[in-house]
Chain A
Amino acid sequence: MKLKKHITLTKAGIMESLQFRLGTFVMALGNILYLIVVYYLWKAIYASAGTDSVNGMTFSDTLIYLVLATALFNFMEMYTVWEMGRSIQSGKIVLELLKPMEYRSYLFWSNSGAFVTNFVFTFLPTFIAVALVTHGAIHMGLNLLFFLISVIIAISINYSINFIVGTICVYTESIWGINIMKQVIVLLLSGATIPLAFFPETFRKITYYLPFQSIYNAPLSILLNAHPEPKELLVTIGTQLIWAAVLMILSKLFWKVSLRQITVNGG
Chain B
Amino acid sequence: MKKKGLGFYLRIYFKILAQDIKSKMSYRADFIISTIGMIFTNIAGFVSFWIMFRSFPSINGWGYYEMLFLYGFSLVAITPVQCLFDNNWSLRIAVYTGDFIKYCFRPINIFFYYQSEVFDIKGLGQLAFGIGTLIYSWNKIGLGFTPLILLKMIVFLITASLVMIAMQNAAAATCFWIMNSFYVLDLVTRFKDYAKYPVTIFSPVFRFIFTFLMPIAFIAYYPSLVILRPDEVPLLSWLSPLIGVVFFWLSYKFWMRGALKYNGTGS
Write the residues of chain A forming the contact surface with B, with a CB cutoff of 8 angstroms: 20, 22-23, 26-27, 29-30, 33-34, 36-37, 40-41, 43-45, 47-49, 54-55, 172-174, 176-181, 184-185, 187-188, 193-194, 198-200, 203
Contacts and interface: CB of A to CB of B under 8 A. Distances in A.
Contact of A181 (B40, B184, B191): B40
Interface of B: 27, 29-30, 33-38, 40-41, 44, 47-48, 51-52, 54-60, 178-180, 182-184, 186-187, 190-191, 194, 197, 201-203, 206, 214
B36 to A, nearest CB: 6
Nearest to B42: A184
B58 A48 contact: yes
Contacts of A40: 201-203, 206
B33 A178 contact: yes
A162 to B, nearest CB: 16
B45 to A, nearest CB: 9
Nearest to B179: A22
B29 A174 contact: yes
Contacts of A48: 56-60
Contact of A178 (B37, B186, B191): B37
B47 A174 contact: no
B211 to A, nearest CB: 14
A198 B34 contact: no
B34 A41 contact: no
A36 B194 CA distance: 11
A49 B55 contact: yes
A178 B54 CA distance: 30
B39 to A, nearest CB: 9
Given A34-B190, A48-B59, A198-B54, 12 more contacts: A23-B182, A40-B203, A41-B197, A43-B201, A55-B55, A173-B29, A174-B33, A177-B38, A184-B37, A184-B40, A185-B44, A198-B51
B52 A194 contact: yes
A45 B59 contact: yes
Contacts of A178: 33, 37
A177 B33 contact: yes
Nearest to B44: A184
Contacts of B36: 177, 181
Contacts of B27: 173-174
Contact of A30 (B54, B178, B190): B190
A174 B30 CA distance: 5
Contact of B206 (A34, A36, A177, A199): A36
A74 B144 CA distance: 45
Contacts of A34: 190
Contacts, number: 104
Nearest to A19: B180
B60 A44 contact: yes
16 contacts: A23-B182, A30-B183, A33-B187, A40-B201, A44-B60, A45-B59, A48-B59, A48-B60, A174-B34, A177-B30, A180-B41, A181-B36, A181-B40, A188-B48, A199-B51, A203-B51
A176 B34 contact: yes
B187 A26 contact: yes
A54 B44 CA distance: 22
B40 to A, nearest CB: 5
**Minimum-distance CB pairs A-B, first 7:** A177-B33, A177-B37, A177-B34, A174-B30, A44-B201, A26-B183, A180-B37
Contacts of B184: 26
A234 to B, nearest CB: 29
Nearest to A55: B55
A28 to B, nearest CB: 10
Contact of B183 (A23, A44, A176, A200): A23
A176 B37 contact: yes
Contacts of B56: 45, 48-49, 54
Contacts of B41: 180, 184
A142 B262 CA distance: 57
Contact of A41 (B47, B51, B186, B201): B201
Contacts of A188: 44, 47-48
B161 to A, nearest CB: 22
Given A20-B180, A22-B180, A49-B55, A172 B186 contact: no
Contacts of B194: 37
A172 B29 contact: yes
Contacts of A43: 201
A47 B60 contact: yes
A200 B201 contact: no
Contacts of B203: 40
A43 B60 CA distance: 10
Nearest to A28: B183
A181 B48 contact: no
